[in-house]
Amino acid sequence: MFESEGPTLTPLKVAYFIVFFVISWLGYAGGPAIQIESQYKHVSWLVAIPVGLAMTWYFQRILVGRLYKAKSGAMLPLGIRASWVAGGIAAGILTMLLPFAVATIANRVIGTTYTASYLVTGKSIGRGKRTCYDLTMTKADDASDRFDVCVPKSEQDATRVGDKMQVTGRRSQYVNQMIRFRRIS
């Protein structure tokens, strides 16, 4: 049986991935489309920089001196440079997810539900890891309120530009989230 000479990274890896999972889950929109308000985006990224630096420093303090298993199989201590790099990467990932998680939580807690009419103003096909058959929906009385929604090919084919959609969503000052939509005629 292998006995460690000091603190290892295993408990920290487990704790990090639990936090990563929770933040990712909270940040999940739970609907077809979401719009983060532009004022919130600007403020959140300004706050994210010092938060990211503080998290990097915190992770670095935890990581320095911890033992990790090298490719050679030996247990080696994590140095200062490596702990800063690892802490920066870990904090960067969490910092990128955090604004979306905060906006989604605020939307669930203080957001109000709404139902509004939207018009289909465009159709497109996006290629990437998977093909996205996109419908662009614009609110009938506010052209700046738009959603791009990925739908199945059959639904995109059945929808024409100019069709009216009834959108049910949830809105707060941080995020506008589409929950579902249906065609009305």
Q: What is the pLDDT of residues 52-78, one digit of tens each?
A: 999 999 999 988 888 888 888 888 888
* Residue at token pair 């295993």: 10
For residue 1, the model assigns a pLDDT of 42
Residue 26 has pLDDT above 80, yes or no: no
Residues 118 and 51 in one domain: no
Pairing mode, if any, of strands 175-184 and 164-171? antiparallel
Residue 84 pLDDT class (50, 70, 90 cuts):
very high
- Domain count across the chain: 2
What domain range is 69 assigned to? 10-110
Residue 111 has pLDDT above 90, yes or no: no
Last residue of a domain, one of 56, 80, 110: 110
Q: How far apart are CA 43 and CA 115, in angstroms?
A: 28
Residue 85 pLDDT class (50, 70, 90 cuts):
very high
pLDDT tens-digit readout, 124-146: 988 878 888 888 999 888 888 88
Q: Which residue has the higher pLDDT, 119 or 102?
A: 119
Extended beta strands in 97-153, E state: 112-126, 132-139, 142-151
- Alpha helices by DSSP H, listed for the chain, are 10-27, 38-63, 80-110, 153-158
Residues 18 and 34 in one domain: yes
Residues 82 and 164 in one domain: no
Q: How far apart are CA 156 and CA 136, in angstroms?
A: 11
Last residue of a domain, one of 110, 142, 170: 110
Last residue of a domain, one of 89, 110, 131: 110
Residues 167 and 88 in one domain: no
Assigned domain for 79 exists: yes
Q: What is the mean pLDDT of the chain?
A: 85
